[in-house]
């Protein structure tokens, strides 16, 4: 008996803005593994082609180099998309403090371009937002309804939270007024392989220092806390959120379940990596421009994401630290990358000047 034609499998076309970045590149790999056709739009300002090395030969992947500020380009890239994962943003406390105007432009006008294009294309949008929007609210378990306690918009740190808050508001208006199917995720300190310490992120920074035998720079008194979540736990949940009808028009926290002070994090890293490094407390005024305000505590309540898409951040911090260490050791410095980021291979010279060159 001849068999009937194979059942049609609907292929999804996903656009990932910021797809060459840390989280974006993990998401691209996941989507390709699911059988999606994927288009990356990235300006390579903080992302890199190296992040996509594992999938660069894939016929289902196209990479477009360009900015989300380029409206005609954004329209063209999104025109035939089913889903848009909007991860492109100017991120990293150090970059935001250094280039506040550029960051504001990208985070505001860029997102507006993406939302408008997705609306015309009738594509679903997953908008990546941030726990920064809660600002100085140190509550035990921030829910999506928690108040935002922000410092002055004249202080560059708060411009990021302000811009992301406007992005969320814009997305919500598109949902309510124009029927855009958009889900918002507020990410709390996502970490893992390929995250660079160049823009100030603490885990790759401290792991890199520990591997090179340099002092671990802990800012302030080190008693500020965070809940780090693993990129491998976040990415599948992002895709499920984009596909969940009940997620549209709503925001979801996604963070780790283990609260830890930065001082304890540094101690854990030294112990796990058996590093000869010591800890150096660096005053905020030295680490950042004067007047910088840090978040004392930031703890998510993930209940909503757990209920909606089964978000379950299982990877422990010690596993995360070891994964970051492995990735840093495997990484060769890019041309022009800071020497401080170069890391010796295991068993190599534990010296600040050791590089792969
Ligand atoms: N931090 C630190 N040493 C570093 C980099 C960061 O002590 O080398 C601190 C930083 O001041 C903050 C925490 O670690 O209190 C997390 O910083 P990160 O920039 O990774 O994330 P965010 O501040 O956005 O939570």
pLDDT at site 194: 94
Q: What is the mean pLDDT of residues 338-350?
A: 44
Q: CA 288, CA 293: separation in Å to the nearest integer?
A: 9
Where residue 343 falls among pLDDT bands split at 50, 70, 90? low
- Give percent of the chain above pLDDT 90: 78
**Minimum-distance ligand 1 atom for the alpha carbon of 130:** 24
Amino acid 7: pLDDT: 56
Amino acid 350: pLDDT = 31
Q: Confirm or reject: Cβ of 267 under 6 Å from ligand 1.
A: no
Q: Where are the domains of the chain?
A: 13-342
13-342: CATH architecture: 3-Layer(aba) Sandwich (3.40)
Calculate how far, in angstroms, residue 204's C-alpha sits from the geometric centre of ligand 1.
Answer: 10
Interaxial angle between packed helices 111-121 and 156-178, expressed in degrees from 0 to 180 and rounded to the nearest 10: 20
Residue 217 CA to ligand 1 centre (angstroms) = 10
Measured between alpha carbons, how far is 135 from 114 in angstroms, rounded to an integer? 25
pLDDT in tens, 165-209: 999 999 999 999 999 999 999 999 999 999 988 888 999 999 999
Tell me how far the alpha carbon of residue 241 lies from the centroid of ligand 1, in angstroms: 28
* pLDDT value of position 154: 83
Nearest CA to ligand 1 atom 6: 202
Pairwise CA distance, residues 272 & 294, whole Å: 27
- Atom 21 of ligand 1, nearest CA residue: 201
Alpha-carbon dihedral sign for residues 179, 63, 46, 209: positive
Distance 340 CA to ligand 1 centre (A): 17
**pLDDT band at 348, cuts 50/70/90?**
very low
Q: Which atom of ligand 1 is nearest to the CA of 216?
A: 8
CB 83 within 8 A of CB 242: yes
- DSSP-derived letter for residue 40 is E
174 classed as catalytic? no
> Confidence class of residue 356 from pLDDT cuts 50, 70 and 90?
very low
- Which mutation among 46, 158, 262 tests ligand 1's pocket best, with the greatest number of atoms within 8 A of CB? 262
What average pLDDT does range 230-238 have in this prediction?
98
pLDDT at position 157, please?
79
Residue 153: what pLDDT? Answer: 85
Report the predicted TM-score, pTM, of the whole model to 2 decimal places: 0.91
- Averaged confidence pLDDT in the chain: 90
If you take atom 14 of ligand 1, which residue's CA is the nearest one?
Answer: 202
């Amino acid at each position: 008996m001849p068999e009937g034609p194979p059942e049609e499998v609907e292929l999804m076309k996903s656009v990932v803005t910021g797809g060459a970045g840390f989280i974006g590149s993990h998401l691209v790999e996941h989507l390709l593994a699911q059988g999606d056709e994927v288009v990356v739009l990235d300006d390579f300002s903080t992302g890199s082609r190296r992040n996509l090395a594992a999938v660069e030969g894939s016929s289902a992947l196209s990479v477009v180099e360009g900015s989300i500020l380029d409206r005609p380009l954004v329209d063209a890239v999104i025109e035939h998309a089913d889903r848009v994962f909007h991860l492109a943003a100017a991120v990293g406390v150090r970059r935001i403090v250094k280039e506040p105007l550029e960051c504001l432009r990208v985070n505001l006008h860029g997102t507006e371009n993406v939302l408008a294009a997705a609306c015309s294309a009738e594509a679903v949008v997953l908008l990546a937002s941030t726990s920064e929007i809660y600002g100085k609210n140190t509550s035990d378990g921030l829910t999506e309804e928690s108040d935002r306690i922000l410092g002055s918009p004249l202080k560059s740190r708060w411009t990021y939270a302000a811009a992301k808050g406007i992005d969320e508001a814009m997305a919500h208006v598109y949902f309510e007024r124009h029927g855009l199917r958009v889900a918002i995720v507020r990410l709390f300190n996502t970490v893992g392989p390929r995250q660079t310490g160049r823009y100030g992120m603490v885990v790759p920074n401290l792991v890199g220092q520990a591997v090179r035998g340099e002092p671990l720079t802990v800012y302030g008194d080190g008693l500020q806390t965070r809940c780090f979540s693993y990129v491998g736990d976040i990415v599948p949940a992002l895709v499920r959120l984009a596909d969940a009808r009940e997620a549209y028009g709503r925001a979801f926290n996604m963070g780790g379940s283990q609260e830890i002070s930065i001082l304890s994090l540094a101690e854990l890293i030294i112990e796990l990596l058996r590093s000869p490094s010591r800890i150096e407390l660096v005053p905020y005024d030295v680490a950042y421009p004067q007047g910088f305000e840090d978040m004392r505590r930031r703890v998510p309540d993930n209940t909503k994401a757990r209920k909606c898409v089964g978000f379950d951040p299982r990877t422990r911090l010690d596993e995360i630290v070891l994964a970051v260490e492995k990735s840093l050791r495997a990484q060769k410095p890019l041309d022009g990358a800071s020497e401080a980021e170069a890391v010796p291979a295991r068993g190599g010279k534990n010296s600040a000047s050791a590089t792969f060159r």
